[in-house]
Structure 1
Amino acid sequence: MPKTVEYIFDFAAPNGYLAWYPLKDIVARAGAQLTVTPVFLGGMHKLTGNAPPMIRDAGVKGKVPYAALEFQRFLDRHGMDRFRMHPALPFNSIMLQRVLVAAQDEAERQAIVEALLPAVWERNIDCADADAVACELAQAGLDAQRLLAATQDAEVKAQLVANTEHAVERGAFGIPTFFVDGEMWFGKERLGQLEGFLEGGKP
């Protein structure tokens, strides 16, 4: 039976963009399955006491510049030359995350990720602009009207909260986080370890 990689995901994390594309390749090579669990990163930070790295590490001499170097190395290694840091970072991703929750099934959820990741991290759309988001969804052949209307549903709102709380209960504190067979990996730097596990190695 193929393993399932659960990706704890929020559009607001630039590392979420970086991890998505190599992760898909790893899952395909391993013959595994991928599921996306939308969470609200802002809520996760509040629950865990975490903060965006550029804020959390601002007082540590040398750490933020080194993190930027490693970030660029990852972009270069994977040929991600279209990535552009969002000028509004850190921005509120609540509407985008509710759109993900409102997906009818896993296939639609991943299609939404595919449609909106480039919009956010390559073209830097305003993530609070419903019209801009609707345009991106519609261009990808998705039902923008249904998905955006659902962001106001009480059940959708509650599910996003529940997803976030459950992820934190299991140990998640940031994005990207991955779970396989109850084991957790955090960060794009752990993708190699995750692949090894999928191939039969130890966590």
Structure 2
Amino acid sequence: MSKGPNAARRNESSRQAILAATEDLCRENGYGRLTIEAIAARAGVGKTTIYRWWPSKGAVVLELLDQAATLASAPPDTGDLAADLRTLLTEVIGILTPVHTSPATGLIAEALQDPDLAHDLREHLIEPRIAAFKQRLRRAQDAGQLSADADLDVALDLLYGPLYHRMALHLGMPDPGHLDSLVAHVLRALTPPHPAGVRERRRKSQTGVS
């Protein structure tokens, strides 16, 4: 039985050279034209070195993205939830653009046709970051910044869904103003009503005022 790639035997300088070469080649030519041979040539290593550590180009790109998406793995917590969410979404936008040459968009597209790659993408990149995102929102709930019964799965879809929708349909990523509006609308839907507003609605309902 053949053995899989052995991450423990990696040389760190070679690993970084391979990841840098992978990103450069994706940005230059797109994920579709990326090959292990091209990565090896650009990084100055043998392709057997790459195959010793990664089973495919998709696995290399997955590790590249895992290393690049630093904020999403530990969401900021400044106390300003809206600002923290804008920071998170801005990082995602940077990773997804330019759409035609982003390593992330290429990997996502390939994962649609490759169940094994899709599994690795979810397990190693997506699911840990969803868990971290929800932990950040739970802290916001504890601080009274979000409704205690806010559905965090819906919050995730409302915030990140528009980015992937715009990516898939080539609509362009939100500019800062659009991003501010997106975050504001989502938080408005998930924020507990102000006590004064609750009292006013109760008064109107009791007096029959519309």
Query: Which structure carries more helix by proportion?
Result: 2
Bigger Rg over Cα = 2
Determine if the TM-score, normalized by the shorter chain, exceeds 0.5.
no
Query: Structure 1 length normalisation: TM-score?
Result: 0.27
Q: Report 1 or 2 for greater relative contact order, CA contacts < 8 Å, sequence distance ≥ 6.
A: 1
Query: Structure 2 length normalisation: TM-score?
Result: 0.26
